[in-house]
Amino acid sequence: MEKRRRDRMNRSLDRLRLLLLAATCDEMERKKFSKLEIIFIVLFCLVVAVACVLIGILATRETVTESSRFQATLTRLSSPSLFGNDVDTVLLTAEHQTPNRFRFKLTDPKTQRFEVPHEHVTSFSGPAASNLKYKVSVQQNPFGIKVTRASNDKVLFDTTVGPLVYAEQFLQLSIKLPSSNIYGVGEHVHKQYRHDVNWKTWPMFSRDVAPSGNTDNLYGVHTFFLCLEDNTGASFGVFLMNSNAMEFALQPAPAATYRTIGGILDFYVFLGDTPEQVVQEYVKDVQYTDIDYMEARKDFTYDKVKFKDLPSFQTYMHDHGQKYIIILDPAISTEALADGSPYQAYERGQSKKVWVNESDGVTPLVGEVWPGRTVFPDFTNPDCTSWWVEECKIFYNQVPYDGIWIDMNEVASFVQGSSNGCEQNDLNYPPFTPHIVDRLLFSKTLCMDAVQKWGRQYDIHNLYGYSMTLSTQRAIEDLFPGKRSFLLSRSTFAGSGKYTGHWLGDNAATWGHIKWAIPGMLEFGLFGIPYV
C-alpha cells in the first residue's frame, strides 16, 4: 500500500512539474537565461510542484445523488499553502443537464463566493437526462473527474492530470485532452486558427490595447474552447463560467490549465458529432461616425459647428436607402459644455447616483478618457439602465439614428485605476496575477476595489462591456419597437452574441493584421458572435 501511495505521488509530481513549468517556459522562449538562473527556476518549480501536490490532494468525504445530479464534499489535507487563504472544504455539484451537456461546479459551502449573475446561469431543476452521450467518473484520492464519450469510451475531459487548487484568490484546474486540435478562448490575436500547445499561456482580462501579435489579452473575455477529437469530426467543447482575471495555459500532453484569481469553478462540457453541433450546444449597406461628431467628445451631444447639418444629413441618408450608426463610450464627462452650460447627461446621472463608486461605495470614481475627467456608469444598476435608455431617447430626438456602436467598454481609462490612486490591498495587488498586459490589474482601467451593484471590479471587470450591451439593447428596443436594429460592441463576454456584433478592435491596415483577422472571425463564431 505504501509503495502504491508513493508511486501515485511520484506520478502526480511528474505531471505537475510539466504543468507548473509552463509559465517559466513562456518566459524562457522570450529571453535567454544563464545556467545559474535556469537552476534557480527549476528548483523553484520543484518546490511549487511539491506544494501543489499536497494542496491538491482532496478526499471525497460523502456523496449525495439525485435524479439529475450528484454532490460530493472534498476536504483539503493539511499541507503548506501556495498563495495563502486556502479553502478547506469544497462542494462538488454535478448535473446531467442534457444528453450532450454536463455541468459541474466547485464551490465553497461555508462562504458565499462571487458567481457570475448571468441570465443563462440558473439552477438546474429538470428531470434526469436520458440516453446520455457521455459517462462521468470521479476519482476520490486525489480528486479528479473524467468525462468519456459513451459510444467509444474515449476519455475527453480528464482532470486527474493535475491537482485541484482552491484558495481565496487562486483557483487552478488542469484538463488532459484527447487531441491537440484545440480552437477558441479569447480575445487574442494569432496567425492560425488551431492553437499551438507548445507551452503557450493566454491571459484573459478585458483590456483596451491594440493587437500586437503576441499573447496580449484584448477587449473581450471568452473561456470557451472546442476540441476536435479525431478525423471523424467528433468534437466537444469546454466552457468555464467565471469573470475574474485568468489565464489559459496549453501543454503538449495535450492538456489545458485554467487559472483564475476569484469566483468559483463552474464548468460545462458539450458533446457533438461535429464542431457545428458543439457550437449549437454552447450558444444556441451602413455608415458610422466615431467620436468626432460629439461636442468635446461628450456622449449624447454633437458639434454644432463642424457637424451642424448632422440632423438633416441623417434624413438625406434615409432618402438614399442608407443607415446611420452613432458611437457611444461609457465614460461621462464631469465638465460643463463649451458655452458654460451644464452637461445635462452628467447632471441627470449625478442626481440618480448611477456611477461606479470608489471602495467606500459612495464616492463616484473619477478617471480620464477622451473628454477629460470622467465618471463611469454602473450598468449593473437598474437605475443606471433607466438613465442610459432615457439619454439615448433624448439624443435620438435631436439626431435620429438607426443603431449604436459602443466602444471603450472594457472599461477603459487613461489613468491607473482612479484619479485618487488605488489602495494597497489584496484586490488591487492579489497574491497571483495572470500574465496580463502590464501585469497590473488596474492598468488602464478602474481600481479593482471599485464598487458596482453586482459587486467589486475584481469580480465583475470582465462583465462591464456585457452589462453595457444589455442596457444599450434596452434603449434600442424602446427606440425601435418591433424592428430589427443594430448594436456593435468592442468588449464582449459569453452570451453577448444574443444582442451584439463585434469588431476586432484597433487593428491597422496591414497584411499582417488582415491575416490575424481570419482566426479572429472564426473564433468569434465559436463564441456565438456570428457578426464580426
User: Tens of pLDDT along 118-151?
Assistant: 876 666 666 677 889 999 999 998 899 999 999 9
Neighbours of 27 (CB within 10 A): 12
CA distance 64 to 449: 37
Residue 43 cell numbers, joined: 528548483
The pLDDT of 40-46, averaged and rounded, is 49
> How many Cβ atoms are within 10 Å of 416's Cβ, its own excluded?
18
Q: What is the rounded distance in angstroms from the CA atom of residue 288 to the CA atom of residue 311?
A: 14
Q: How many CA atoms lie within 13 A of 418 on its CB side?
A: 19
pLDDT digits (tens, 9 = 90+) for 465-491: 999 999 999 999 999 999 888 999 999
pLDDT above 60 for 327: yes
> Where do the domains of the chain lie?
2-53, 54-282, 286-506
Quickly state the pLDDT bin for 321 (edges 50, 70, 90).
Answer: confident
Pairing of strands 367-369, 372-375: antiparallel
Helix (H, G, I), strand (E, B) or coil at 502: strand
Tens digit of pLDDT for each residue in 142-184? 899 999 999 999 999 999 999 899 999 999 999 999 999 999 9
Q: By C-alpha distance, which of 416, 325, 412 is closest to 370?
A: 412
Q: Global pTM? A: 0.84
Q: Are strands 403-406 and 486-489 parallel, antiparallel or unpaired?
A: parallel
Task: Return the closest-CA partner of residue 104 out of 116, 91, 87, 117.
Answer: 91
Q: Which CATH number fits domain 286-506: 3.40.30.10, 3.40.50.300, 2.130.10.30, 3.20.20.80?
A: 3.20.20.80
Of residues 479 and 293, which shows the higher confidence score? 479
Question: Quick one: which of 126, 71, 137, 67 has its CA closest to 98?
Answer: 126
Minimum mean pLDDT range among 63-72, 112-121, 386-395, 495-504: 63-72
Q: Give 169's DSSP letter.
A: T
Average of per-residue pLDDT across 363-388: 98
Which three-class secondary structure state does DSSP give residue 145?
Answer: strand
Q: How would you write 286-340 as a 3-class SS string? A: EEECCHHHCCCCCCCCCCCCCCCCHHHHHHHHHHCCCEEEEEECCCEECCCCCCC
AA identity, residue 13: L
- CATH for 54-282 (2.170.130.10, 2.60.40.1760, 3.90.1150.10, 3.40.50.10240): 2.60.40.1760
Higher pLDDT, 527 or 213: 527
35-56 and 2-30 are packed helices; what angle lies between their axes, rounded to 10 degrees?
140
Angle between helices 382-398 and 464-479 (to 10 degrees): 50
**3-class DSSP state for residue 391?**
helix
- Around 50, how many Cα atoms within 13 Å sit in the side-chain half-sphere? 6
Alpha-carbon distances of 157 from 152, 249, 255, rounded to whole Å = 14, 16, 9
Which residue reads 449573475 in cell numbers? 117
* pLDDT for the residue numbered 53: 44
C-alpha cell at 382: 437598474
One DSSP character per residue, 73-97 reads EEEEPS---SSS-B-SEEEEEEEEE
For residue 9, pLDDT over 70 is answered with no
Task: For residue range 87-107, list pLDDT tens digits in order.
Answer: 999 999 999 999 999 999 999
Query: Mean pLDDT over residues 296-316, rounded?
Result: 81
- Greater pLDDT, 382 or 80: 382
Say yes or no: do domains 54-282 and 286-506 share a fold: no
Peptide bond connecting 80 to the previous residue in cis, omega within 30 degrees of 0: no
Stretch 390-412: mean pLDDT = 95
Confidence of residue 517 (pLDDT cuts 50, 70, 90): very high
Q: For residue 350, what are the CA distances in angstroms to 346, 355, 362, 377, 384? A: 6, 8, 12, 10, 10
The interaxial angle of helices 344-352 and 382-398, nearest 10 deg, is 160
- By 3-state DSSP, what share of the chain in percent is helix, strand and coil, each rounded to 5? 25, 25, 45
The closest of 103, 121, 99, 107 to 72, measured between CA atoms, is 107
Length of the chain: 532
Indicate the average pLDDT of the chain: 87
Distance, CA of 114 to CA of 443 (rounded, Å): 22
**Average pLDDT of 300-313?**
81
Dihedral sign from CA coordinates of 413, 207, 204, 105: positive
What percentage of residues in the chain have a pLDDT greater than 70? 84
